[in-house]
Structure 1
Amino acid sequence: MAALNNEELPTIYNLASSDPRSELIDRSTVGEDALQQIERIMAEMGRLRSVERKISRASQHYMNLNETDMRAIRFLISAKNTGDIVTPSALAKHLRVTTASMTKMIDKLESAGHVERTAHATDRRSLCLAVTEDTHMAAREQVGRHHASRFSAAARLTAAEREVVIRFLSETAQDMESSVNSVGEIPTPKA
């Protein structure tokens, strides 16, 4: 799909309709051409997030897993690829969940055939977790191929363009993190 150029931007990315009085963003020093480019960047970032959510939902549905389960599987796949040993406590720390929640999750993932527990090679009191080969291959086909397509887009850029993108993404993450930290925890809606 071609990038948004002169197409109508979704209202969420159009600052004139989403922040008409410049209460959130002071646009007084930004020219119209720059403003239109910035809105296109925001729209493309939104489109990227939308595609990522679509891929994530399809993968979760295909593998019958929730988002936290998928994060656990990705962590275990990375560990397998690098030869790292993962204990339940290491996985709980990575996912930022309690050990009780971790035990329940591991039980569920093991009974579904996604992970296996083995004895730790050097610590008899500890267990190791590993993703099963079937789940590894399914995740590779369902998620890995989609995420690998990012490489092609990055490879088409020049070195200088990649540096601009890196700086932009890094600064965007930093600014958003600062915003969250200054406002406080974002409340979750009640179900």
Structure 2
Amino acid sequence: MENRDSAETADRISENLYRVGMKAGSSDLVDVSDVPEAAMEEIAQLMNALARLREAETLLSEASRKYMKLSEQDMRALHYLIVAKRQGEIVTPGMIAAHLRISAASTTKLLNRLERDNHITRRLHPRDRRAFVIEVTPETEASAKQTVGRQQARRFYAAARLTSEERAAVTRFLTDMAEEISLTRADWAGTTVSEG
């Protein structure tokens, strides 16, 4: 009984994440003084939908990492390599470091681990004999596509169900929201490189 009550309470809190403190005229984080109560309810529903999307993505990411026995950073590197291969691009360790925002030393450790576990191969660069080319192995690429890739690709169906105007509105909204929460707007956030 206690577990069910706890789960119900957790669900109520989750559903109200963006309603608390978002009553018209009462937020201490944003100026909502000119926003009607009906719009506040719609905004709360929209923000909760975004929270559910983030949660679904987090759960999918965790399940895929567990299935493939990889870290989040490993998965990001492999995803980058798969996309690059699809586009016919050559990938170097420096490109992976830049994409993951990690140091050269951290990149070397990551690549050593992925190569040891047969997820990637390294070979000499065809035009620069001082550099290496990094490629995902066919087995890892197939495994990623058949599991995580197939599940992630299902987002296409949600986008396809929208009209052209709806897609434009959603794209505008997501682009605008990304800009609003960008770290370039946060004086407190540094722009340091992660040493993952």
Instruction: Classify the TM-score, shorter chain.
Output: 0.7 to 0.9
1:28 aligns to 2:33 (yes or no): yes
Aligned AA (1:27): V
How far, CA to CA, are the matches of 1:184 and 1:97 in structure 2?
Answer: 17
Equivalences for 1:123-138 in 2 at 5 Å? 123-138=128-143
Partner of 1:10: 15
Q: Scaled by the length of structure 2, what TM-score is found? A: 0.84
SS of the residue corresponding to residue 12 of structure 1 reads: coil
Alpha-carbon deviation of 1:117? Answer: 0.6
C-alpha distance 28-20 of structure 1, shift in aligned 2 (>3 A)? closer
Question: What's the Cα RMSD here?
Answer: 2.3
Partner of 1:68: 73
CA contact (8 A) 2:24 2:37 kept: no
Q: 4+ runs of 1 displaced by more than 6 Å?
A: 17-20
Q: Scaled by the length of structure 1, what TM-score is found? A: 0.86
Give the gaps of 5 or more residues in structure 2.
1-10, 192-196
C-alpha distance 157-45 of structure 1, shift in aligned 2 (>3 A)? same
Partner of 1:148: 153
Partner of 1:99: 104
Partner of 1:51: 56
Number of aligned residues = 180
CA contact (8 A) 2:78 2:136 kept: yes
Give the gaps of 5 or more residues in structure 1.
1-6, 187-191
Q: Give CA deviations for 1:78-129 in whole Å, capped at 9, x if unaligned.
A: 1110110011111111111111111111110001111011121121111110
Q: Give CA deviations for 1:120-165 in whole Å, capped at 9, x if unaligned.
A: 1121111110000111011112211121111111111111111110
CA contact (8 A) 1:13 1:43 kept: yes
Partner of 1:172: 177
